[in-house]
Structure 1
């Protein structure tokens, strides 16, 4: 919703400025924090909104910030931001409670969609439904496409995936493209997000893969 507050926690001044401009243009109210400690000091008094949290910071990592927020009982949804090639860290952040993650450099539209999803998150029933929907989408993948996605989520580059699966790098790229198409997403980060969500789907209500 317009006028919702988005808290930016990133020690890169250029990133903070860029995000603040984008958020303001979309009707959000950005509040930027350079130092994780500064943000954590302010956290108990923050209004509802969404947190954009960088996972790679010098003094304290995003995962450490996330753990501190959890100890405080802070329930503001967290979207983590990570550099390319650091998908495993983002996966750990989601398993620790982050509602989404974005891989830099990210598309403006993808960022705004992630924020809107985070702001719409409202309680466990919604989370369970979202997890089930993710599981159903993951279930349409072929065995090879799922193997490629699992490997990507584990941080393996195409060259390593190709070697382990006994296929060419070009074939890996083909499976990767088909996997994104079947899932209806544009970026690998979005596919990994679905994979992590699917892992929390209620076991008793999962439909069988076709």
Structure 2
């Protein structure tokens, strides 16, 4: 069999197509596997962790769990503490004054104190004590620290020498209370 030039071109062309197809199939199957392996490696990288960061995170979480276990209050202890606090609150509510009660009692006491100076003068006046003697006595009690004088209108401290006694009110100090109860003695005062 004799092949002419046209036949050789056809044979070379067919061999080229066959070689190209073979290379294409080889490339497709071989590089397809490489691509699949590459994807598998990427998935493994994304879904796994290296040992060192894993151990650090594990230790951190373990310390957190230990802290929770150490600080955790069991339900029975919590309930007991809650009941004790509830009982304490109930006791406080029963034994202590409310704000309104305090204000009411304080107002009563304040009105009584406001009227003491006037009542004292009228009481002493009924026993024949002159106004100047009364004022000297009040001035002495204030200067010795047995009473504090203040203006009725502003509640600011005041001196008897600077104001009319009718503008003033007197408050018994703790020293004055001790004197009245006999805790201290003053030979200038008769109790």
TM-score bucket (shorter structure): under 0.3
Q: Which structure's residues are more often strand, by fraction?
A: 1
Larger Rg: 2
Q: Which structure would you say has the larger RCO, counting Cα contacts within 8 Å and 6 or more residues apart?
A: 1
> Could you state the TM-score of these two structures normalised by the residue count of structure 2?
0.26
Q: Which structure's residues are more often helix, by fraction?
A: 2
